[in-house]
Structure 1
Amino acid sequence: IMANKKKVIVTGFEPFGEHTVNSSWVAVQELDRLGLGEAVDLYVCEVPVEYQAVQSLLPSLWKQHQPQLVVHVGVSGLATTVTLEQCGHNEGYRRLDNCSYCPASQCCMENGPDCINSVLDMDAVCRKVNDSGLGVVVSVSKDAGRYLCDYTYYTSLYLGQGRSAFIHVPPLGKPYSSWELGKALQAIVREMLELLELDRAEEEHKYHDHCHHQHQHQHQHAH
């Protein structure tokens, strides 16, 4: 067993509105079957389409699992590509959820920033996956739609200091099958983990460089 297994959480949503089957959860279950390789401990769960459920579920997911990355997947009836969302928004939640509820403040986090960006560069992830000849088109968006998708993303970005991602998928068969969506999620999440790894190596490198200079500096004073 690898001691340094990376923990990754991937979520999909339950059915809502005209989405009697939610392709996001179908795709996440497909990803769960495919897996992310030996080095990754993947945990998947289905998120209710309810503001209050998200408020209680997300903190426990982050706390309990201490994941390196949390990826939320949601369906968009308007999407024709697999869409990577760069940021989550705090305000504008007027649409009623599956419990016919919406936050009185119409926002996620009282006094939270308007918008939180993922630490991941979605343009870079998009380029890499599209260049890999996957057969599924990936694009990037900066508006996750001000419903449970956006709300969940913002909450997760807030809790995870930006170590979160959101992926919108089209409904099943429009144009992609569940297997194609699963393969796309697998490729995308792998790419995201690789980028996080590179960033971490760079950070450590910077830190050690800095550390090294400090020592040299002290050394000169000693003589």
Structure 2
Amino acid sequence: MYKEFLFHLLLQELSKLGLGENTDIHSMELPVKYSEVKKVIKIWTELQPQLFVHIGMASSSKAITLEQCGRNKDYMEKDLSGDHPQGGCCLPEGPERIESVVNMKSVCKNLSRLGVDVIHSRDYSYYFSLYYGQGRAVFIHVPPLTTAMTAERHAQALQLIIQEILTGLFRELFAAGNDSLS
């Protein structure tokens, strides 16, 4: 219940702050169930986003954690339904590891200069998103709410992180487009 409340608060605050012009926020709750991951595939095929941002709570963390890659194997922990994927694998035909196109080390470095406490760091749904989105996904783990890290502060940090990521992506796309013109 707490996690759902936290995410509703974060989305509410992030919606107030916005992410800039021409950036839409679509949200959905994805329970911690392996069977629910098929919804990730549907998002990529139906909405075709430029970037998919996964947000999860890291209850033991005191800082925001950014993941660089998703792994295909070793998912032996049971989900909320008591299930785990056959063979502990996301996609039998998928590569062992998929990197996000976003350089999370760079994002961490840039945000630490702004005073945002961020750690650079495996998630089943994240692997699917990286696979179906050709690497155009990120996973952000947020710590629980505290008196110092309020929902508003979380949302401000998420806004900065997502804007930093989008700026970097558009810069890379622009550079790639100019290279093809030469």
Match status 1:82 vs 2:64: yes
Aligned residue number for residue 19 of structure 2: 36
Residue 94 of structure 1, CA deviation: 1.1
TM-score of the superposition, structure 1-length normalised?
0.76
The one of 1, 13, 28 aligned to 1:45: 28
Contact 2:34 2:85 in 1 (8 A): yes
Hey, what does 1:139 align to over in structure 2? Answer: 119
- Aligned partners of 1:208 and 1:122: how far apart in 2? 28
Query: Is the Cα–Cα contact under 8 Å of residues 82 and 168 in structure 1 kept in the other structure?
Result: yes
**Structure 1 vs Structure 2 CA RMSD:** 1.6
Letter in 2 for 1:38: E
Matched to 2:60, the amino acid is: L
**In 2, Cα distance between the equivalents of 1:120 and 1:189?**
11
- Please give the secondary structure, in 2, of the residue aligned with 1:47: coil
Cα distance, 1:41–1:124 mapped onto 2, change above 3 Å? same
Bigger drift between 20-29 and 191-200 goes to 20-29
For residues 175 and 84 of structure 1, what CA distance do their matches in structure 2 show? Answer: 20
* Alignment length (residue pairs): 181
Higher relative contact order (CA 8 A, sep 6+): 2
SS at match of 2:74: coil
Paired residues of 1:24 and 1:169 also in contact (CA < 8 A): no
TM-score by length of 2: 0.92
* Other-structure match for 2:76: 94
Residue in structure 1 matched with residue 172 of structure 2 by the alignment: 199
Deviations 1:63-92 (A, max 9, x none): 111111000011112321111100011111
Q: How does 1:163-174 map to 2 (within 5 A)?
A: 163-173=136-146
* Match 1:58 to one of 33, 37, 40: 40
Do residues 109 (structure 1) and 91 (structure 2) align?
yes
Deviation of 1:153 after TM superposition, in Å, equals: 0.7
Kindly provide the amino acid, as one letter, of the partner of residue 117 in structure 2: V
Structure 2: runs of 5+ lacking an equivalent: none
Give runs of aligned pairs for residues 147-166 of structure 1, distance below 5 A: 150-166=123-139
Instruction: Note the C-alpha offset of 1:174.
Output: 7.8
Instruction: Looking at secondary structure, tell me which structure has more strand per residue.
Output: 1
**What are the superposed Cα offsets for residues 165-187 of structure 1, whole Å, 9 maximum, x if unpaired?**
00011122185211111111100
Large movers: runs of 4+ above 2 Å: 20-30
1:104 shift after superposition: 1.9
Q: Indicate conservation of the 8 Å contact 1:123/1:140, yes or no.
A: yes
> Higher mean Cα deviation, 65-74 or 104-113?
104-113
2:146 alignment partner AA: G
State, as a whole percentage, how many aligned pairs show the same letter. Answer: 39
Shift of 1:24: 4.6
Q: Which runs of 5+ in 1 are unaligned?
A: 1-14, 145-149, 210-223
**Which has the larger Rg?**
1
